[in-house]
Amino acid sequence: MTRVTGSGGSSGIFACWSRVDERAASLYERKKGCCGFSSVGKSVDSYSKPSSSLVEGFPDQVPPFPTETAVSIIEEELGAPVDKIFDRFDYEPIAAASLGQVHRASLKGQEFVIKVQRPGLKDLFDIDLKNLRVIAEYLQKVDPKSDGAKRDWVAIYDECASVLYQEIDYTKEAANAELFANNFKDMDYVKVPKIVREYTTPQVLTMEYVPGIKINRIKQLDQLGVDRQRLGRYVVESYLEQILSHGFFHADPHPGNIAVDDVNGGRLIFYDFGMMGSISSNIREGLLEAFYGVYEKNPDRVKFPQILDK
């Protein structure tokens, strides 16, 4: 789980995404030939005609890995042939990303999506992170920090490594999704796909199929008939709730990970809980004080240095 601290330690996490993406793409190139990439877990290519934000395309595209490989991983992880587990399994993936790809399936009349991890990622991370550790230790020794910044290169590396390994453990993502869903259980304007624990392992994540429209598709949202002003309020309220009430928030809120459907007149659907953030209670208290200070236009209550030093 990503930690968000007053010292800004989380900023180093994002510095490593492009390097890992590049290596993930390189891994695919060695096996298949070519690969586009953007940021970890964000590059999605659609192969059917999806109605869901979960499977809609991003600007860069990542080709899928062979279906036979995906099926082999599912069967090895779940311990049975896919046609024995599911009533229907779609062999053509509906989406592919740098960390995995998604297949649809049905069981007992319910629709599910199955995220399968791209093979070889842990070995890739082991190699790269070992090299990055050496670089971090070197930078720690030679960085003069003459600009006054409090950089701890080894701490940045440790945080980055921790997040990356958790990103490729789908049981962690499942736990994050369940905690997030529980935090919003009494709020009908937020929907989190239900996790199917029985069919979830470190490399396979099975969840409820919840289609929606990407939150930045304005024309489609208008056609759906949702109130965009109210929707905007829901987004703000949901993040205030995440950060100030629970201290546990979705740390990757790009439009591919937030969708909308017409349930209850317009509902937010959150996807992809691989990267989450947590904020300690003392920092939450400081942020809340600052928030009320801004609201009341009282500069004495807005003391960011005190927040950051907590």
Locate 2 and state its tokens.
Answer: 């990503």
Is 227 tagged catalytic?
no
Strand 110-117 vs strand 100-107: parallel, antiparallel, or unpaired? antiparallel
Long-range contacts of 34-39 (CB under 8 A, 24+ apart): 34/63, 35/62, 35/63, 36/60, 36/61, 36/62, 37/62, 37/98
Pairing of strands 45-46, 2-3: unpaired
Selection from 94, 99, 76, 92 nearest residue 27 by Cα: 99
| All residues at 6 or more sequence positions from 262 whose CB lies less than 8 Å from its CB, including other chains | 224, 225, 226
Marked catalytic residue, from 21, 45, 128, 252: 252
Q: Is 105 helix (H, G, I), strand (E, B) or coil?
A: strand
Distance CA 212, CA 55 (A): 10
Question: What is residue 222's three-state secondary structure?
Answer: helix
Task: Give the integer Cα–Cα distance in Å for 36 and 183.
Answer: 36
Please state, in angstroms and as integers, the Cα–Cα distance from residue 228 to each residue in 57, 106, 242, 259, following that order.
Answer: 23, 33, 21, 13
Specify the 3-state DSSP secondary structure of 1.
coil
Largest CA distance in the chain: 64
Catalytic positions are 252
